[in-house]
Amino acid sequence: MTRKITISVPDDVAERLDDERNVSAFITDAVRVRMEAEHTRRVLTQLGFDITDEGVAEAKRELDEARAGITPELVREMSSRLAEISGGRWRPRV
């Protein structure tokens, strides 16, 4: 079952939505991602983890820093080593 709703969004968001063929599907996917994140946070809290907005922001910064360190040279070296230890059976997904 579906319901039709009307929403108001800031101009920058509206401009982004103008690029979508199916705005309803795009918004639905975005809201479901948010719902899953909220569920994960609730579960972790119930398990005793102290989840704070500051902690999440710090984790995101650390992840961004780690990703920035993954250079093309590092990927080539990793691929070479994996191929070596797998006897050539490992192939990178492209």
Query: What single-letter DSSP state applies at residue 20?
Result: -
* Residues 31, 87: Cα–Cα separation, whole Å: 45
Phi first, then psi, for residue 42 (nearest 5°) are: -60, -45
Residue 28: closest CA among 19, 36, 11, 14: 36
Q: What is the block-wise mean pLDDT of the chain (94 residues), using blocks of 10 residues?
A: 95 97 97 97 95 94 95 90 82 66
Q: What is the pLDDT of residue 92?
A: 66
Query: What single-letter DSSP state applies at residue 21?
Result: S
Residue 27 tokens, joined: 């918004």
* Residues 13, 23: Cα–Cα separation, whole Å: 11
Q: What is the pLDDT of residue 84?
A: 85
Q: What is the pLDDT of residue 94?
A: 59
